[in-house]
Structure 1
Amino acid sequence: MENPVTERYPIAFRLYPYVRSPDQDAVTPVRHKVIVVGAGPVGLATALDLGRRGIPVLVLDDHEGPGLGSRAICFAKRTLEICDRLGAGEAMLAKGVQWNTGKVFHDDRLLYEFNLLPEDGHAFPAFINLQQPWFEKFLHDGVVKAQEEGALIEIRGRNRIDSITRHNDHVSLDIMTPDGAYQVEADWLVACDGARSPIRKMLGLGFEGRVFEDNFLIADVKMKADFPTERWFWFEPHFKSGDSALLHKQPDDIWRIDFQLGWSIDRAKELEPENIRARVSAMLGPEVEYELDWCSIYTFQCRRMEKFRHGPVLFAGDSAHQVSPFGARGANSGVQDADNLGWKLALVANGLAPDTLLDTYDEERVFGADENIANSTRSTDFITPKSAVSKLFRNAVLDLAETLPFARTVVNSGRLSVPCTYDGSRLNGPDLPGLPARTRPGSPCPDAPVGTEWLLRLIGGDFVLLAIDADVPENFAAHGIALKTLAVSAKENRALEERYLGGAKSAVYLIRPDQHVAARWDRFDAVAVSAALARAIAKD
């Protein structure tokens, strides 16, 4: 057998062991509705969303589960809300370490602290820390549950894509397995195969951007410690283990430590356990006992593809865009890609929306990627000044930030991930002046308590007419889509009032299936709602 499928790294959880598929014995290639390449966080979220919407989906991965090592660990509130809609949020919350507070130090001085969720009335915290293998396992658990409920989701481990041929209305794939090669076809292919994306390379597509000349050491250590569950970041730390350092807690007594090493280093030497221990011990103190759990050195880049859609092939997550890890924008933005794509692809696949709706996935998520890249680049430039003058300016800002709040807005130790608002999207409908800016068309819906429930759980993953102290019909359908109606009251509900009404007495919102606002009015109007729905599915 040529080029056997072998494991390139050890597996944390063997979630989808290789099983021979009937497709491998088919006389002609079997045609699938959707194939997702890659069973990481983005691929699993995409498959789970599509499957729950009734779309048959096949996931192909060249391994049988997530690899060892924490890798991505910071998952933002919006990501947790998306995973909650997919049936995995509660397990993630139960396992993860919750945090809202961060502290910024310069040398040995605490400059200030910040709260990422300064208001009450949300089901999820600003962030949890959870090792990526666990995140993937909980999504896979959601897939298993969805399969039991009838979702047509299949995951094939140790199925490696060796070549792809793109046609006008489908793709053909050559796949290698432990039992040899076979072929399949798909109406659509979603490439979630990571920053080194073989699919992107096979199609000869570019990945342009900026490489930052710096190296960072990740040291995950297992220890019992009394540090609070906060994000601590040091500029020029007094313990001299790097030009900057980061510390925060993960589940199971694992702590993530990052050290900035500089550009000209000997990687092999830096990864020697005694050298890693020297840096960690200098930070924690010689009396602290710990074990090294996982270590890696990374050099990061900020770049993206020019377009995320190429006919029937769509790119999501790191295969489409890449950012520095500061700000936790990688996996979080990838899950938001899946959230944006799932409902659109489902509507197109079911014939309820034109193919051009998929073009808006490219438009909106390129907009989101550019926002993330801009924030990530600014963070990196502040953390790693490139000249003596820029370092002098950076340190002057840090000195001011200790006592002057205005200077803290300039300090950038990693602007942490927030969901993108699709201002200017062609899917956005009319807005009502005077309503809160945070819930304008294009924005993600903020959560709020509604009785004993939470608003986002009540909204779910369909098109929804949200009526706040306004009358709406119990049933409304247009363009082949039945809208779910949700009537709530903001009276004696300050969170709902502040987030959705402002000074208005009532409002009606059209909410997209990804829980972004499509349009809003002061009252229900059937013609206006129908027109806004047509616009939201690219039918206008």
Structure 2
Amino acid sequence: MPRYDYQPFEYSTPPELRGASAHRYPVVIVGAGPVGLSAAIDLALHGISCIVLDDNDVVSRGSRAICWSKRTLEIFDRLGVGERMVEKGITWKIGRLFHREREVWSFDLLPEEGHKMPAFINLQQYYVEQYLVERCRDFPDLIDLRWKNRVTDVAHDPNGAIVTVQSPDGSYRLETDWLLACDGARSCVRSCLGLDFDGRVFEERFLIADVEMSAEFPAERWFWFEPPFHKGQSALLHKQPDNIYRIDLQLGWDADPEEEKKPENVIPRIERVIGHGDFELDWVSVYTFQCRRLDRFVHGRVVFAGDSAHIVSPFGARGGNGGIQDVDNLVWKLAMVLSGEAPECLIETYNVERVHGADENILNSSRATSFMTPKTDMERLFRDSVLDLAADHEFARKLVNSGRLSRPCGLGFSPLQSSPNESGHMVGAAMVDAPLGADGWLLNHVGGRFTALAIDADLPELPDGVDGIVVSSDPQRFDDVSCLHDAEKFVKRRYGEGSIYLVRPDQHIAAICRDATELSAAWLRATGRTT
């Protein structure tokens, strides 16, 4: 019996089937998972209306994506659900790796202080979707959530796309300037356009079992290579809210997924892991390792994000996090194009930047898969030798790979960015947060719009469309402007002083400037108006 109480969302007859006049919509989103819902909220924060279509009427079945990284939590915080997620989720930053019965080593993903968001939380995807749906309801005039509305056909038109939708009350068509395909690995939009993934399917399967039990396992990530309870294979254990524990067990390519999901086969495996039978199965699934993506994420006015654009093996938490970072990159660009503030070519930079991000995730995921599940004698010899050395030698620990955990993608290569600055902060990097005493947190003062961030420096004249913020450890130096107080000097240590950072709406650094001329040129470049 699932612990989560699945409540169906209300269906209502679409206006198109109630005699409403034909209307062209600025954005239609297909898929009401975390990626599609996040895109809808971000669009609403920019004042852009959208329709969200989903063929279901409940949140996702099973925990699915559970590991949410610091960068993704910062994005969720900007969208208005981050604090709620952290409050409900299991916060963790320590990972432990075992080889057979021995702990090889442990790592700390966030050893320093001065960050609002933790390194990671574990929170079931159904909670994330619930919180996002509830946040969508804060924008009743901008977000139209349509449940039980299944897309059956998609076609390009010269200025957008035409979507055919099947509802319980009949079929209808929508015309839209932009269609966002956020409908997952089995994307209907992708199929309708005849598109397919390139990449690799690994000959490996894993069992996911969510079990409810009372236990003393700490809020850490435990990964075993060849554990005594699952000999010759790999295993992972994570704690989730509500006394739910995620257990992943390597099965091998020859395993029959339907047989392995049967309780009579799952329960004995779990008993061997935890040493007793005092638990209840909450959800079971079997997945195949894949690392694949579309060749391009932008096809005319149809844009793909999340699993509809790319899929990776789950170890490393790069799937769900990568999808949220997709729409974080996309929506501000789309909003500027729709409002006439930027040329349409700005959308192509989404393709450039997020294809790069997907390739980075695929590379890390592929390497983790090869290390975790060696297929040749040489791969196994290398893996076992590294694990033997890692307990005592630092150099070997860097080679252990149970999934390189999700990190924000750097964009220093992008045509929207400038060159690195002198202090070592690479242009294109996601901003690092910092406490500001009574003024809260740095990242809560930037994002959603372009911002010129002056660190112990005077703001130059700003272009229209760029906000200005001054941060100083001595605010009285800047009596004539509103100045945020770097009381503990975290900002100064992380960003230096005397610099002016141009921050993109997605909180990536676009440029470091010395004066108004450089700032204006960087802003024009970052909005796609110069190359």
TM beyond 0.5: yes
- Deviation (angstroms), 1:436: 2.7
Number of the residue aligned with 2:228: 238
Whole-angstrom distance in 2 between the partners of 1:140 and 1:498: 38
**Matching of residues 445-484 of structure 1 within 5 Å:** 445-452=431-438, 453-473=440-460, 476-478=462-464, 481=465, 483-484=466-467
- Deviation (angstroms), 1:266: 2.5
Confirm or deny: 8 A CA contact 1:11 1:67 kept in the other structure. Answer: no
Whole-angstrom distance in 2 between the partners of 1:15 and 1:431: 50
Whole-angstrom distance in 1 between the partners of 2:124 and 2:316: 16
Whole-angstrom distance in 1 between the partners of 2:99 and 2:22: 61
Confirm or deny: 8 A CA contact 1:468 1:490 kept in the other structure. Answer: no
Q: Does 1:487 align with 2:431?
A: no
Any gaps of 5 or more consecutive residues in structure 2?
Answer: 475-486
- Deviation (angstroms), 1:298: 0.7
Number of the residue aligned with 1:138: 131
Alignment counterpart, residue 267 of structure 1, candidates 219, 237, 257: 257
Q: Does 1:163 align with 2:150?
A: no
Decide whether aligned partners of structure 1 residues 457 and 297 sit closer, same or farther in structure 2, where only a CA change above 3 A counts.
Answer: same
Q: Single out whichever of 384-393 and 137-146 deviates more from structure 2.
A: 137-146
Whole-angstrom distance in 1 between the partners of 2:230 and 2:7: 40
Give secondary structure in 2 for the equivalent of 1:70. coil
Alignment counterpart, residue 491 of structure 2, candidates 474, 491, 496: 496
Any gaps of 5 or more consecutive residues in structure 1?
Answer: 1-8
Q: Does 1:424 align with 2:410?
A: no
Decide whether aligned partners of structure 1 residues 15 and 152 sit closer, same or farther in structure 2, where only a CA change above 3 A counts.
Answer: farther
**Matching of residues 60-79 of structure 1 within 5 Å:** 60-79=53-72
Alignment counterpart, residue 193 of structure 2, candidates 194, 203, 222: 203
Give secondary structure in 2 for the equivalent of 1:442. coil
CA deviations 1:68-105 (Å, max 9, x no partner) are: 21011000011110010000011101100000000000
Give secondary structure in 2 for the equivalent of 1:335. helix
- Deviation (angstroms), 1:14: 3.9
**Matching of residues 270-349 of structure 1 within 5 Å:** 270-286=260-276, 289-349=278-338
Number of the residue aligned with 2:122: 129
Decide whether aligned partners of structure 1 residues 432 and 271 sit closer, same or farther in structure 2, where only a CA change above 3 A counts.
Answer: closer
Whole-angstrom distance in 1 between the partners of 2:232 and 2:11: 43
Whole-angstrom distance in 2 between the partners of 1:498 and 1:424: 25
- Deviation (angstroms), 1:27: 7.0
Confirm or deny: 8 A CA contact 2:161 2:175 kept in the other structure. Answer: yes
- Deviation (angstroms), 1:495: 2.3
Whole-angstrom distance in 1 between the partners of 2:180 and 2:427: 27
Give secondary structure in 2 for the equivalent of 1:145. coil
- Deviation (angstroms), 1:26: 4.0
**Matching of residues 78-157 of structure 1 within 5 Å:** 78-147=71-140, 152-157=142-147
Whole-angstrom distance in 1 between the partners of 2:81 and 2:371: 36
Confirm or deny: 8 A CA contact 2:421 2:427 kept in the other structure. Answer: no
Give secondary structure in 2 for the equivalent of 1:443. coil
Q: Does 1:508 align with 2:500?
A: yes
Whole-angstrom distance in 1 between the partners of 2:419 and 2:254: 54
- Deviation (angstroms), 1:15: 5.9
Number of the residue aligned with 2:169: 179
Whole-angstrom distance in 2 between the partners of 1:460 and 1:305: 29
Whole-angstrom distance in 1 between the partners of 2:72 and 2:259: 37
Alignment counterpart, residue 253 of structure 1, candidates 230, 238, 243: 243
Whole-angstrom distance in 1 between the partners of 2:230 and 2:250: 10
Number of the residue aligned with 2:424: 436
Q: Single out whichever of 165-174 and 9-18 deviates more from structure 2.
A: 9-18
Aligned-CA RMSD value: 1.7
Confirm or deny: 8 A CA contact 2:462 2:520 kept in the other structure. Answer: no
Give secondary structure in 2 for the equivalent of 1:300. strand
Number of the residue aligned with 1:415: 404
Q: Single out whichever of 166-175 and 24-33 deviates more from structure 2.
A: 24-33
Whole-angstrom distance in 2 between the partners of 1:11 and 1:289: 19
Confirm or deny: 8 A CA contact 2:3 2:282 kept in the other structure. Answer: no
Instruction: Look up the equivalent residue of 1:122 and give its one-letter code.
Output: H
**Matching of residues 388-399 of structure 1 within 5 Å:** 388-399=377-388
Whole-angstrom distance in 2 between the partners of 1:62 and 1:269: 28
Give secondary structure in 2 for the equivalent of 1:213. strand
Confirm or deny: 8 A CA contact 2:206 2:250 kept in the other structure. Answer: yes
Once the two structures are aligned, what percentage of the paired residues are identical? 51
Decide whether aligned partners of structure 1 residues 99 and 257 sit closer, same or farther in structure 2, where only a CA change above 3 A counts.
Answer: same
Q: Does 1:34 align with 2:27?
A: yes
Aligned residues, how many?
516
Alignment counterpart, residue 352 of structure 1, candidates 341, 345, 354: 341
CA deviations 1:239-258 (Å, max 9, x no partner) are: 12660000010000000000
Give secondary structure in 2 for the equivalent of 1:262. coil
- TM-score scaled by length of structure 2: 0.94
Whole-angstrom distance in 2 between the partners of 1:432 and 1:214: 44
Instruction: Look up the equivalent residue of 1:137 and give its one-letter code.
Output: Q
Number of the residue aligned with 1:6: none
- Deviation (angstroms), 1:164: 1.0
Q: Does 1:519 align with 2:511?
A: yes
- Deviation (angstroms), 1:190: 0.3
- Deviation (angstroms), 1:528: 1.1
CA deviations 1:180-230 (Å, max 9, x no partner) are: 111110000000000111101110112111001011000100000011100
Q: Single out whichever of 232-241 and 414-423 deviates more from structure 2.
A: 232-241
Whole-angstrom distance in 1 between the partners of 2:13 and 2:244: 37
Q: Single out whichever of 452-461 and 327-336 deviates more from structure 2.
A: 452-461
CA deviations 1:477-534 (Å, max 9, x no partner) are: 34xx2x1111001566342123211xxx41110000000000003x3x1111111000
Instruction: Look up the equivalent residue of 2:429 and give its one-letter code.
Output: S
- TM-score scaled by length of structure 1: 0.93
Confirm or deny: 8 A CA contact 1:383 1:412 kept in the other structure. Answer: yes
